[in-house]
């Protein structure tokens, strides 16, 4: 371990065990003495997160009822009421590069604001996505420049959607126009990428057999280090380690339970929680831990994939999602689709509440993060890429003003939002995709 001999310790402090490396959360002892004396607010690093929701939504149940604020949330967004002061909802944003319109281009254009090359082969071409533009600049200061997560196995190859290769539908993040970054859906692999020390899968499995937990090998060193910290920092470290241990326990339980399941979901990796919600919560919690330990500052998460045929019997929707999204204006089908929309948003809301309740510096993880949630499709019945469902949360430490509904009179490029969020985390570029400018009002007081 890196021994602590002074009250002021480096921000990048690690505790190393056998096959494990744990970065610490931001502690009071890491704040420079000059900052404390000048009463300058202690803030954590700036982060960017993206949560992708597939296949659009029922706009009539999505759009906030109040014109400029979120005082009257819509049915789909109601679960966000406890964090509405940290939110901005946008109406009438578009992804023009996604036209002529498909599920593949909804996914590929969402973070790239670029037009995918129509091809069914390996000569695909898109653009560098916003998360990777950020990772190239602010991701170099962390153990992992970025993490890419998903809920489904993305192994479909060939042609997936109206002349577009499956690569466009499988991958949300691209580090260059020709380099897609596969997302990981297995929480065990994500956990060991965050806290393990690498090696082959076989080596990691062998190491796992020799210990019950990654945390076991650092307990003595961690307890020794905590004695040199103040009571507040001791509590932070304890809470952080408890959260890591709880996540690992849930992963272990899912792996044990999966052995008793003879018919796993073909889209779901073996060894993940049987419940969709439990799996999603676990993936969200892994992102939170990655932010808290400053393991990465950039994350993307496909909460479900485009054309997913997953059903949601736990909320009373046994219909497969994709056919339901092509509802033909049938009100019963639209109502069931909106239940899925609300369910997905509720999981996002739980994640935001956890970020908000996790202290960091003089604020919270949510204050120091900008988390975009949305879809590349507006009305899924017609593959429309206009009037997208878009939310941005967090960012108060950087001046973002919440409890607002920004409604544009005419379709406005989603790329403008990407450009603005990049700017707010310190990535200064002149344009992005089909952007036409920044969204200054996102960080200005609301005028009524």
pLDDT at 200: 63
Q: Using the predicted structure, report yes or no on whether residue 258 has a pLDDT greater than 70.
A: no
The structural domains of the chain, with segments of one domain joined by +, span 43-185+272-443
Contact criterion met (CB below 8 Å) for 196 and 204? yes
404-427 pLDDT, tens digit per residue, is 999 999 999 999 999 999 999 999
Q: Can you read off the two tokens belonging to residue 227?
A: 């004695």
pLDDT at 214: 78
Name the pLDDT band for 58 (thresholds 50, 70, 90): very high
Q: Can you read off the two tokens belonging to residue 224?
A: 């020794």
Please choose, from the candidates 429, 433, 430, 426, the residue with its C-alpha nearest in 3D space to the C-alpha of residue 395: 426
Q: For Cα atoms 126, 418, 387, give the angle at the middle one, nearest 5 degrees.
A: 90
Q: How far apart are the first and last CA of the chain?
A: 55
Q: Which residue has the higher pLDDT, 308 or 215?
A: 308
Task: Give Cα separations from 368 to 48, 135, 201, 350, 428 (angstroms).
Answer: 9, 16, 34, 17, 18
Q: Can you read off the two tokens belonging to residue 296?
A: 């990465």
Beta-carbon-side half-sphere exposure of residue 171 (alpha carbons within 13 Å): 26
350-388 pLDDT, tens digit per residue, is 999 999 999 998 899 999 999 999 999 999 999 899 999
Cis peptide before 100 (omega within 30 of 0): yes
pLDDT at 28: 87
- Any idea which of 159-163, 286-290, 353-357 has the lowest mean pLDDT? 159-163
d(CA 251, CA 268): 14
Q: Which residue has the higher pLDDT, 158 or 119?
A: 119
Q: Using the predicted structure, report yes or no on whether residue 256 has a pLDDT greater than 90.
A: no
Which CATH class, in words, describes the domain spanning 43-185+272-443?
alpha beta
Q: Using the predicted structure, report yes or no on whether residue 95 has a pLDDT greater than 80.
A: yes
d(CA 296, CA 283): 15
- Any idea which of 99-103, 130-134, 215-219 has the lowest mean pLDDT? 215-219
Q: Using the predicted structure, report yes or no on whether residue 400 has a pLDDT greater than 80.
A: yes
3-state SS of the chain? CCCCCCCCCCCCCEEEECCEEEECCCCHHHCCHHHHHHCCCCCCCCEEEEEECCCCCCHHHHCCCCCCCCCCCCCCCHHHHHHHHHEEEEEEEECHHHCCCCHHHHHHHHHHCCCCCCCCCCCCCCCCCHHHHHHHHHHHHCCCCCEEEECCCCCCCCEEECCEEHHHHHCCEEEECCEEECCECCHHHHHHHHHECCCCHHHHHHHHHCCCCHHHHHHHHHHHHHCCCCHHHHHHHHHHHHHHHHHHHHHHHHHHHHCCCCCCCCCCCCCCCCCHHHHHHHHHHHHHHHHHCCCCCEEEEECCCCCCCCCEHHHCECCCHHHHHCCCCCHHHHHHHHHHHHHHHHHHHHHHHHHHCCEECCEECCCCEEEEEECCCCCHHHCCCECCCEEEEECHHHCCCCCEEEEEEEEEEHHHHHHHHHHHCCCCCCCCCCCCCCCHHHHCCCCC
CB environment 424-446: b (16+ within 10 A), e (fewer): bbebeeeebbbbeebbeebbeee
Residues in CB range of 263: below 8 A, 6 or more apart? none
Name the pLDDT band for 74 (thresholds 50, 70, 90): very high
Q: Is 320 exposed, middle or buried (0-12, 13-18, 19+ CB in 10 A)?
A: middle
Name the pLDDT band for 101 (thresholds 50, 70, 90): confident
pLDDT at 227: 81
Average pLDDT over residues 1-28: 70
Q: Going by DSSP bridges, is the β-strand pair 173-176/179-181 parallel, antiparallel, or unpaired?
A: antiparallel
pLDDT at 296: 97
Average pLDDT over residues 288-312: 95
Model pTM greater than 0.75? yes
d(CA 75, CA 77): 6
Q: Phi and psi for 72 in degrees, rounded to 5? A: -125, 90
Average pLDDT over residues 119-133: 95
Average pLDDT over residues 36-44: 55
Q: Can you read off the two tokens belonging to residue 272?
A: 């993940």
Q: Which residue has the higher pLDDT, 316 or 7?
A: 316
Contact criterion met (CB below 8 Å) for 306 and 55? yes
């Amino acid at each position: 371990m890196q021994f602590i001999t002074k009250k002021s310790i480096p921000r990048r402090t690690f505790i190393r065990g056998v096959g494990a490396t744990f970065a610490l959360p931001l502690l009071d002892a890491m704040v420079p003495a000059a900052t404390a004396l000048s009463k300058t607010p202690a803030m954590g690093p700036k982060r960017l997160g993206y949560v992708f929701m597939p296949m659009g939504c029922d706009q009539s149940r999505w759009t906030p009822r109040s014109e400029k604020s979120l005082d009257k949330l819509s049915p789909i967004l109601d679960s966000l009421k406890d964090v509405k002061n940290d939110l901005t909802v946008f109406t009438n944003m578009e992804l023009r590069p996604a036209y002529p319109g498909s599920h593949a281009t909804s996914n590929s254009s969402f973070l790239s604001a670029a037009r995918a090359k129509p091809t069914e082969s390996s000569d695909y071409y898109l653009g560098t996505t916003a998360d990777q533009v950020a990772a190239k600049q602010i991701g170099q200061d962390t153990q992992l420049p970025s993490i890419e997560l998903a809920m489904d196995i993305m192994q479909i190859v060939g042609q997936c959607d109206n002349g577009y290769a499956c690569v466009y539908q499988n991958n949300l993040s691209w580090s260059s126009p020709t380099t897609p970054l596969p997302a990981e859906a297995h929480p065990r692999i994500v956990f060991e990428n965050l806290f393990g020390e690498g090696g082959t899968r076989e080596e990691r499995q062998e190491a796992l057999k020799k210990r019950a937990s990654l945390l076991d090998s650092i307990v003595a060193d961690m307890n020794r280090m905590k004695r040199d910290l103040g009571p507040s920092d001791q509590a932070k470290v304890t809470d952080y380690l408890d959260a890591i241990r709880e996540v690992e326990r849930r992963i272990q339980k899912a792996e044990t339970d999966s052995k008793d399941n003879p018919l796993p979901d073909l889209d779901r990796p073996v060894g993940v929680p049987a419940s969709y919600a439990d799996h999603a919560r676990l993936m969200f919690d892994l992102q939170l831990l990655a932010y808290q330990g400053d393991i990465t500052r950039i994350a993307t998460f496909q909460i479900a994939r485009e054309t997913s045929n997953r059903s949601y019997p736990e909320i009373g929707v046994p219909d497969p999602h994709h056919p339901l999204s092509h509802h033909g204006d049938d009100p019963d089908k639209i109502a069931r689709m909106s239940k899925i929309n609300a369910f997905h948003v509720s999981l996002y809301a739980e994640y935001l509440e956890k970020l908000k309740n996790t202290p960091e510096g003089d604020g919270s993880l949510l204050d120091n993060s900008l988390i975009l949630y949305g879809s590349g499709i507006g009305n899924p019945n017609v593959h429309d890429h206009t009037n997208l469902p878009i939310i941005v949360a967090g960012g108060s430490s950087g001046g973002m003003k919440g409890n607002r509904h920004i409604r544009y009179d005419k379709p406005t490029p989603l790329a403008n939002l990407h450009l603005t969020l990049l700017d707010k985390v310190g990535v200064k570029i002149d344009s992005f995709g089909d952007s036409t400018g920044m969204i200054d009002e996102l960080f200005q007081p609301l005028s009524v």
